[in-house]
Amino acid sequence: MSVQDEVDGLPLKQGAIVGAGTFVVGYIATFVLATIDSEIELGEEESTFEMIGLLFYNAQFVDMELSGLNGTETFNILSEESTQIPELVYNLVPIALLVAGGYVLATRVLETRQANEGGAKLGASIVAGYLPLAFLGTILFEETAEGGLFGGSVTLAPETLPAIVLAGILLPLAFGAIGGYLAQR
């Protein structure tokens, strides 16, 4: 591993790969749950990508923001609508995957190094890949509908600041660290 791949002993390159993979697998797992859940309406085929992304952010405790002529309103589909699969199951998907990602990353790094480093610190480095995708998701999962009664547009997207701080930084740091800690035990 080169010096450029690490900063202060953290495996940033591996953390970025595992973190990005964890984000993508979380999105796919949310898609599977939403497909099984007959109570969730995904809308038209063109908007399914965005709706699954919004649900994935809701599962990470990030509300959706609905902006239009009447101002801005926030809500969480999983909290406010009835679903066949309990909200807790949706919430556990990203949490379990972040713990698993931290565990896998710390296990791989600890196997290749002679020193007994902090597994929690290694596991938390998945934030290097998770954060950029959490930010990118705020742009990609935005859905805009034109027209309506007064000709305005309505935009539905994850709340940007909570998506970055909560889903992009705090959750991967905390649960990646737990996974890394478990790997060291």
Task: Report the pLDDT value the prediction gives residue 3, as an integer from 0 to 100.
Answer: 41
Task: Report the pLDDT value the prediction gives residue 5, as an integer from 0 to 100.
Answer: 59
Q: CA 57, CA 166: separation in Å to the nearest integer?
A: 10
pLDDT in tens, 53-91: 999 999 999 999 988 877 889 989 888 887 888 999 999
Q: How confident is the model at residue 124 (pLDDT cuts 50, 70, 90)?
A: very high
Q: How confident is the model at residue 42 (pLDDT cuts 50, 70, 90)?
A: confident
Dihedral sign for Cα atoms in the order 105, 111, 112, 118: positive
Task: Report the pLDDT value the prediction gives residue 132, as an integer from 0 to 100.
Answer: 98
Taking all residues of the chain, what is their mean pLDDT, rounded to a whole number?
88
Residues 106 and 179 sit within 8 Å (Cβ to Cβ): yes
Instruction: Outline where DSSP puts E strands in the chain.
Output: 6-7, 10-11, 64-68, 71-75, 143-145, 154-158
Q: For residue 18, what are the contacts with CB-CB under 8 A and spacing of at least 6?
A: 101, 104, 105, 126, 129
Question: How many other C-beta atoms are found inside a 10 Å radius of the C-beta of residue 104?
Answer: 19
Q: Is the pLDDT of residue 103 over 60?
A: yes
SS3 (DSSP) at 39: coil
Q: CA 99, CA 42: separation in Å to the nearest integer?
A: 28
Task: Report the pLDDT value the prediction gives residue 149, as an integer from 0 to 100.
Answer: 59
Selection from 167, 185, 55 nearest residue 118 by Cα: 185
Selection from 126, 77, 70, 74 nearest residue 98 by Cα: 126
pLDDT in tens, 108-119: 988 877 555 688
Q: How confident is the model at residue 157 (pLDDT cuts 50, 70, 90)?
A: very high
